[in-house]
């Protein structure tokens, strides 16, 4: 497996967008800013996330504003 540092990826400056608690937990543990797309699935919700959004487009709008 190749590491983020080997690929010159700064995880603290990266974003993870996901719709499951496992996605968000992985991003949180890696140090990424996390976007939880809340589709109201009947399952466990993530405990820690930076943003809760309703769509990928909404996440993208926020990311673009943050990067300006």
Q: Where are the domains of the chain?
A: 11-66
Q: Has domain 11-66 been given CATH number 3.40.640.10?
A: no
**DSSP state, 33?**
E
What global pTM score does this model have?
0.91
What is the Cα–Cα distance from 41 to 61, expressed in whole angstroms?
23
Q: Which residues of the chain have pLDDT under 70?
A: none
pLDDT value, residue 1:
87
Is residue 59 within 8 Å of residue 51, measured between CB atoms? yes
**Inter-CA distances, 58 with 3, 16, 29, 55, Å:** 29, 14, 23, 5
pLDDT value, residue 40:
96
| E strand segments, 1-68 | 15-18, 33-37, 51-53
């Amino acid at each position: 497996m190749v590491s983020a540092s080997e690929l010159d990826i700064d995880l603290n400056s990266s974003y993870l967008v996901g719709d499951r608690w496992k996605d968000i937990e992985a991003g949180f543990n890696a140090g990424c800013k996390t976007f939880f797309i809340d589709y109201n699935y009947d399952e466990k919700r993530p405990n820690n996330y930076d943003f809760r959004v309703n769509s990928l487009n909404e996440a993208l709008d926020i990311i673009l504003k943050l990067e300006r």
